[in-house]
Amino acid sequence: MSSANRTEAASAVRRSRLRPARTIVAAFGLAIALGTALLMLPISKVGEGGASFLEALFTATSAVCVTGHVVVDTATFWTPFGQVVILALIQVGGFGIMTFASLVGLAVLRKISLRSRLTTATEAHSFGLDDVSGLLGRVARITLVIQGAVAVLLFLRFSLGYGEPIGRAVWLAVFHSVSAFNNAGFSLFSDNLVPYALDPFICLPIAAAIILGGIGFPVIMQLRKHLRHTLKWTMNTRIVLAGTITLLVAGTVYITAIEWSNPATLGAMEWPQKLLAGFFTSVQTRTAGFNSIDIGAMDPASWIGMDVLMLIGGGPAGTAGGIKITTFAVLFFILVTELRGEGAVNVFGKRLPRSVHREAITVVLLAVGVVVTATVTLMLITDVTLDRLLFEVVSAFGTVGLSTGITADLPPAGQVILILLMFIGRLGPITFASGLALADRRITYELPKERPIIG
C-alpha cells in the first residue's frame, strides 16, 4: 500500500470514529425536538392553549439531559399527559438515546447493525462490540429492578404513611423512582421534596436510587459479579467507589456543619434530622437535583462547596453528569505524583497511560472554559449576584438541576444559555467537541523540545 493510500485509509478510520459521537449528538437533539413538540401541545398544559416554545424547549432539554432545571412548576403547569412525556424523556435520556434505540431494535428485529453497535458502545463506554447485545440486556434489567424496588418502597410510604389514593400513590412512586435513578430531580410537588425532609422512608430510597444510578452501569455490573472478590475489581470500579464514598461523606459534613445553625435550612431541626437533610443534600450534588431544604436560603459558603461537588459529578457510563469522579481522581493522582517527584502516575497498583492524563486535563479545561464563559455572559445580561449565577451555571453544566431560585426569572437569553449548558454537560465536552468536528489533522512530525518556566 502506498503512502497516500495509507494516509487516506487512516483518515477514513479517524472519520469513522467521529461518526458515533456525531450520531449521539444528533439523536439527543432529535429527542429534545420531539419532546418540545409534544410539550407544546394544548393537551400537555393545564388551562387554555399550549406551552410557549421556550417553556417546552427548556423542559424537554432538562428532561432528556436528566437535569431537573425548570422554568415552570412541573406539578401544576403540566397535565398528566405532559408529565408522562417528561417521564418518558427522562427515562430515554438517562438510559441513553442510542442505547435505547439499539435495545428496541434488538427486541423487534433480534439484531442491530454494526453502526448501531459502534454508536452504542461509544455512548455506554463499552470496550468491545461483541458484548453490546448482552450489555443492553443487563443495563435494562438493572434499570428496571432498581427503579421497581424503589417504586415499591415509595408506594408503600405514600399510600400507608400519607393516605394517598392508590392510583396517585403509584404515579408518585413511579415518577420519583425513575427521576431519582436517572439523576433527573424532577418532582411532582411544587416545593420538590421539602415536605418530606424529615422522612427517612422517602429520602433514603430516593437517595439510594440516585447513588446507584450515579456510580455507573459498569460498576454496578462488576459489583453484581464480583462483590466479594475485590481483587477482581477494575481500576474504574475502585476509583468510583472510593470517590463516591469520600465525596458523599465530605459533602455531608461540609453542608451540615455550615447550615447547622441556619434557621432557614437546618437550624430548627433535631440533630438526627439535620444529618438526614445534610446527607440528602450532599447526595443531590451528585447531579440529582432534588431538594429537601430551601437551596436559595443556604449560606453562600455552602454554595461554593456544592459547586465543586456538582462539577465533579458521578461515575462514567451512568446517569450522572459532571466531569466524572474518574476524571477528578486522575488529576488528583497526577498532583500527588508531581508533589512526590515521581515519574509514572500509579493508581491502586496500576500505571495510568499518559493519554489518560491528557484526556482528563482536556475535559477539565473545557469544562472550566464553558462554565466561566457562561457565567460571565449571564453577568452581562442580568443583575444577579455572582455566587447565584455560578451555582446556576455549574448546576446546569453538571446536569444537576439544583437552583437558588433564579431560573424562571432569567431573561430568555439566559434560559437559552442554560439549555446549551445542559446539552453540552450531558454529552460531555469531548463527545460534544468530537461530534461537531468536521475535520482532523494528523501531525507527521515532532518539533524540538523546550521547557518553559512553570510557577
Helices 53-64 and 412-427, axial angle in degrees (round to 10): 20
Q: What is the DSSP letter of 314?
A: S
pLDDT band per the 50, 70, 90 thresholds, residue 39: very high
CB distance 258 to 299 below 8 Å: yes
Distance in angstroms (rounded) separating the CA atoms of residues 428 and 372: 16
Residue 17 reports pLDDT greater than 50: no
CB distance 110 to 81 below 8 Å: no
Please name which of 261, 259, 264, 309 lies closest in space to residue 284, comparing C-alpha atoms: 309
Condensed to tens digits (0 to 9), the pLDDT of residues 284-313 reads 998 888 999 999 999 999 999 999 999 999
Q: Which residue has the cell 434560559?
A: 415
Residue 67 reports pLDDT greater than 70: yes
Residue 100 reports pLDDT greater than 60: no
Distance in angstroms (rounded) separating the CA atoms of residues 251 and 210: 15
Cell numbers at 387, concatenated:
455566587
Residue 85 reports pLDDT greater than 90: yes
pTM listed for this prediction = 0.87
Mean pLDDT of 129-155: 80
Cell numbers at 196, concatenated:
418530606
What stretches of 43-79 show up as alpha helix (H) in DSSP? 53-64, 74-77
Distance in angstroms (rounded) separating the CA atoms of residues 377 and 416: 12
Q: Which residue has the cell 422517602?
A: 202
Burial class (CB in 10 A: 0-12, 13-18, 19+), 227: exposed
Distance in angstroms (rounded) separating the CA atoms of residues 388 and 29: 28
Lowest mean pLDDT among 217-231, 272-286, 293-307: 217-231
Query: Which of residues 221 and 84 earns the better pLDDT score?
Result: 84
Condensed to tens digits (0 to 9), the pLDDT of residues 329-372 reads 999 999 999 998 888 888 888 888 888 888 888 889 999 999 99
Distance in angstroms (rounded) separating the CA atoms of residues 373 and 286: 23
Please name which of 249, 356, 241 lies closest in space to residue 309, comparing C-alpha atoms: 249
CB distance 78 to 186 below 8 Å: no
Domain positions in the chain are 15-436
Lowest mean pLDDT among 190-194, 219-223, 435-439: 435-439
Distance in angstroms (rounded) separating the CA atoms of residues 76 and 83: 10
Q: What is the DSSP letter of 182?
A: T
Residue 139 reports pLDDT greater than 80: no
**What is the Cα 269 distance to its own chain's centre?**
30
Condensed to tens digits (0 to 9), the pLDDT of residues 392-444 reads 999 999 999 999 999 999 999 999 999 999 999 887 755 654 544 444 556 67
**Buried-state track 261-280, b at ≥16 Cβ within 10 A, e below 16:** ebeebbeebeeeebebbbbb
Q: HSE (CB half, 13 Å, CA atoms) of 312?
A: 26
Helix (H/G/I), strand (E/B), else coil: 320? coil
Terminal Cα-to-Cα distance of the chain (whole angstroms): 48
Please name which of 255, 269, 247, 249 lies closest in space to residue 197, comparing C-alpha atoms: 269
Burial class (CB in 10 A: 0-12, 13-18, 19+), 250: middle
Query: Which of residues 17 and 233 earns the better pLDDT score?
Result: 233
Query: Which of residues 131 and 32 earns the better pLDDT score?
Result: 32
pLDDT of residue 270: 95
Residue 118 reports pLDDT greater than 80: no
Average pLDDT, the chain: 85
